[in-house]
Amino acid sequence: MNRFGKGLLIAALVGVVAMAFRVSWNALRDVATATGADPTAATLYPFVVDGLMALALVATLVLTGDARRFALRVLAAYTLASLVLNYVHGLVPQLHDEVVDWGRLADWDPANWALVLLATSLPVGSIYFGSDLVAKVLHHRPTEHAATTPNHDESAETYVNRSTADLGVSAPAPITPAPAAFPAAPAVSLVKSTDRAPVGAVAAETTRPRRATGRVPEAARSSRPARTADQLLTEARTATAAWADRELTAEGIRKAVHTSPAKARVLRDTLRAEREQAAGPGEAAA
């Protein structure tokens, strides 16, 4: 519905409420006069009942939760009270006289007492309930409910960013030897095609959410900077330059360059391949 349609609907609602208020005016004014109200008080009495009904209706459109249910109860109670008083006004002919004076609202005494109590208690109730409704509307904060709702989009974005960062370190980069001492050395990857995939790579592909861990304390971090694949291979070449072929083992390389067993095995195969390539076909056959 466009803005013009909404404005027309609101105008129609205001017109209906105004006409209903005018129809109920005489009944509530005559009932107030019959219970002893002076002319000024009797003229203002319809505002006490029907006016609070309008206030409660506005409060139900603004409030939420328990406050909205309270406003609905007030609206229902005052609507019922206005209905009863209008009904009594239609049953008692004495209230229709041009000059209405103090009188009875019912011939039966208990009914008369109950109706007088209802008519006289509505102004006091309007002061209490009207003040409470206005206070609830003024202190209502529409953004409080939204602030307590978890932001699923932000959590999902944090999880994607964390998983992306983890994927970068799940599998080591392949080591490509630099053509320095042995220019014809073949390039060997850290992840062999015949070996099973590293555990880190499999964990990075799983769809199970990763549990967030805290930052590593400064005291627990290694003071040695991370080495690249080329730097690690260069250190292995230097450390094993004087080694015999039978001494070129993964355990020996691991202790010499202080690396992991998996990288040490790859370094061993790379260095052996370099030595065989440098020795030539004839020496390798001998």
The predicted-structure confidence for 27-42, as pLDDT tens digits, reads as follows: 898 888 888 888 899 8
Phi-psi region of 122 (alpha: psi -120 to 50; beta: other; left: phi over 0): alpha
Average pLDDT over residues 166-189: 53
Quick one: pLDDT band at residue 138, thresholds 50, 70, 90?
very high
b/e code 172-191 from CB counts within 10 Å (16+ = b) = beebebeeeebeebeebebe
Is the pLDDT assigned to residue 261 strictly greater than 80?
yes
How much is the pTM?
0.48
Nearest to 222 by CA among 259, 255, 188: 259
Check: CB of residue 30 under 8 Å from CB of residue 100: yes
Closest by Cα among 2, 100, 4 to 45? 100
Residues 21, 18: Cα–Cα separation, whole Å: 5
DSSP state of 107: S
pLDDT digits (tens, 9 = 90+) for 122-135: 999 999 999 999 99
d(CA 177, CA 233): 7
Q: Count other Cβ atoms within 10 Å, centred on residue 79.
A: 15
Assign residue 198 a region (left: φ > 0; alpha: ψ between -120 and 50; beta: otherwise): beta
pLDDT in tens, 226-255: 778 788 888 888 888 888 888 888 888 888
- Residue 85 makes CB contacts below 8 A (sequence gap 6+) with 27, 28, 31, 49, 115, 118, 119
pLDDT of residue 223: 64
Tokens of 21: 């208020």
Q: How many CA atoms lie within 13 A of 114 on its CB side?
A: 9
